[in-house]
A and B are shown apart, each in its own frame.
Chain A
Amino acid sequence: MSEFERRLRAAMAATAGPAPSGLLEGIRRRHRLYVTRLTAALAVTTTGIAVAVPLAVHGIEGGHGTPRPVTSGLPGPTVPSRPHAGPNTALRDCQNANGGTLSSDWKRQSVHAGPVWFMFARPANGVQKPRPSTVAASALPIAVSNGHTAVVTAAPSVAGRFRFLASFNSANQPYTLSEGKRALKLVGCPAGPTGFDIPASYAPGLTMWWQGYVTNLRGCIPLDVRVPPATKVIRVSLAAPGCKT
């Protein structure tokens, strides 16, 4: 060890002094603070999980046509309990509705079946065109009048060739028929005053969704609409390549 190192060692040893008074109290105070923070963090985490799990389950079960910005993590007290979807049925309700503006003449270009609107799906428009492949996925806006419930299925003649997708991200995604649901249950938001002077492009009084589907049909897509409790079936025909109706 050099002289310099010896000096350094001596200098360090010379700094030795008694521990500060109240050290134990300080440690205990700090520990209480730690426990308080930990408890608070646990409470926040628990609350977060309690909120996130129902939202995640909601997303998995109901899916989302187009991701919707969540404005609040906490469901408000006015949000009703979710309606039951039923077997092999995709559910769309007020909680996963998509907003958005439409062209002002959307009704002219849409297929109307009771309270249900298949928007821009009038065959003459041919707006919704599945890709010419074996199985094609696409999506269309569907709306139902507020306060109404409707169930949509493919017509029995094409039931095995058309499915509703619980969630839809892109037509480029390789969906298969087995991924879809045979039926689609649409539950509109509660009926209520829609306000004055709301432009038609906002589809006032309607609850709207961006609904994905997958099909290997060429031509028109026949769908059956039921509006419970009525048993009457309304058949509509949606646009697809080769549909001349």
Chain B
Amino acid sequence: MEGAAKLAVTRAVAENSFEEFVAASSGRLFTMARLLTGGNRAEAEDLLQGAYERAYRHWGRICRRSEPERYVRQILVNASVDRLRRLRRRPEVPLLLDLEAGTGDSAGAIEDRDLLVRGLADLPPRQRAVLVLRYFEDLTEAQIAAVLGCTAGTVKSQAARGLARLRAAVDTAEPPGVGASEGNGAR
């Protein structure tokens, strides 16, 4: 499915059509925006619109690149980090995600995901961005470093700290339902 999406994006680029590019990439980028904003749908939509709009300004140049989605993704990540820094003194209240894709799962699995995504929302902006790029976008450390404008070593340390913090947050707030249905020992 991911390969199909990438193929669609490449085709859109070939046709030099911004609308097609948006249609092909917006689902995935919107999900990423939601993860970066801690599940805040309105914030995610705002971030995504801003990133696409900036791409639209230079679309003639961007569409000639092999991966315009990478450009938009970079704008999105940097904008989210900037936004979170601005909001640093006003802590966010993570919202419950509307996990449409998980409706067929058990209640325990949904709660587990919700807990993880809530924990993700509590991370500092760069740690959050690193984890999203690593586990949602499947980028390598070098690719993440390129997006964030830092070294691969920094990405590595940020990922390790982010994971440790997230694990601690999840462990302290583990919902009893999850442990009952899936077993704590598995984790």
Residues of A that sit less than 8 Å from B by CB? 3-5, 7-20, 23-24, 26-27, 30-31, 34
Contacts and interface: CB of A to CB of B under 8 A. Distances in A.
B132 to A, nearest CB: 7
A20 B141 CA distance: 30
Given A11-B112, A15-B101, A19-B27, 14 more contacts: A3-B186, A4-B187, A8-B116, A9-B136, A10-B113, A13-B101, A15-B35, A15-B97, A15-B113, A18-B30, A20-B30, A23-B48, A26-B45, A27-B22
Contacts of A20: 30, 41, 45, 48
B27 A12 contact: no
Interface residues of B, number: 43
Contact of B34 (A4, A11, A15): A15
B49 interface: yes
Q: Is the interface of A mostly helix, strand, loop or mixed?
A: helix
A24 B135 contact: no
The residue among A7, A15, A23 with the most chain B CB atoms within 10 A of its own CB is A15
Interface in B96-115: 97-102, 105, 112-114
Contacts, number: 96
B112 to A, nearest CB: 7
15 contacts: A3-B186, A5-B163, A8-B116, A9-B136, A10-B113, A11-B112, A13-B101, A13-B136, A15-B35, A15-B97, A15-B113, A17-B101, A18-B30, A26-B49, A31-B53
B28 interface: yes
B49 A30 contact: yes
A17 B34 CA distance: 10
